[in-house]
Amino acid sequence: MTVFSLYLHIPFCRHRCAYCDFNTYSGQEDLIPAYVEALCNEIRQVGRTAPNRLPVHTLYFGGGTPSLLPAEAIGLILETCRASFEVLPDAEISLEANPGTLTLEWLQTIRRLGVNRLSLGMQSAHPEDLRLLERQHDFFDVSQTVRWARRAGFENINLDLIYGIPFQTLARWEATLERALGMFPEHLSLYALSIEHATPFYHWVARGLLPPPDDDVAAEMYEKADAMLTQSGYLQYEISNWAIRREGRLWVCQHNLQYWLNEPYLGFGAGAHGFVEHLRTANVRSIRAYIERLQTPAQLPFPLTPATEQTQTIDPLTEMQETMMMGLRLTQEGVSRQRFEQRFHRSIEEVFGPTIASLVNLGLLEWRGERLCLTQRGRLLGNRVFMEFVDISAP
Omega within 30 of 0 (cis) for the link into 303:
yes
What DSSP line would sit under 259-314, residue for residue? HHTT--EEEESTT-EEEETTEEEEE---HHHHHHHTTS---PPTT--TTEEEEEEP
State residue 298's pLDDT score.
82
Backbone φ, ψ for residue 97 (5° rounding):
-145, 145
Q: By CB neighbour count within 10 A (0-12 exposed, 13-18 middle, 19+ buried), where does 109 fall?
A: middle
Mean pLDDT, the chain, rounded, equals 94
Write out pLDDT tens, residues 71-112. 999 999 999 999 999 999 999 999 999 998 899 999 999 999
State residue 214's pLDDT score.
86
Domain boundaries along the sequence of the chain: 4-258, 316-387
Cα separation, 347 vs 230, in Å, equals 34
Q: Facing residues of 119 across strands? A: 96, 158
Find out whether 163 and 221 touch, Cβ atoms under 8 Å. Answer: yes
- Which residues, other chains included, contact 36 with Cβ-Cβ below 8 Å and sequence gap of 6+? 69, 73, 76, 77
User: For 4, how many CA atoms within 13 A lie in the half-sphere containing its CB?
Assistant: 23
C-alpha to C-alpha distances, 220 to 8, 124, 384, nearest whole angstrom? 35, 17, 18
Band of pLDDT at residue 39, cut at 50, 70 and 90: very high
Q: Tally Cβ neighbours within 10 Å of residue 38.
A: 23
**pLDDT above 70 coverage of the chain, percent:** 98
Query: Is the per-residue pLDDT at 392 higher than 70?
Result: no
Q: Is 366 helix (H, G, I), strand (E, B) or coil?
A: strand
| Helical H segments across the chain, by residue range | 32-49, 71-84, 104-113, 127-133, 139-152, 170-181, 200-206, 215-231, 254-260, 287-293, 316-327, 337-344, 348-361, 376-380, 382-387
| pTM of the predicted protein model | 0.95
State residue 7's pLDDT score.
98
The conformation of residue 31, written as its DSSP 8-state character, comes to G
Given the candidates 3.30.70.890, 3.20.20.70, 3.30.70.1890, 1.10.275.30, the CATH classification of the domain at 4-258 is 3.20.20.70
Class of domain 316-387: mainly alpha
Q: Facing residues of 66 across strands? A: none
Cα separation, 276 vs 265, in Å, equals 6
Sign of CA dihedral 367, 369, 370, 376: negative
Write out pLDDT tens, residues 246-259. 989 999 999 999 99
Cα separation, 233 vs 218, in Å, equals 23
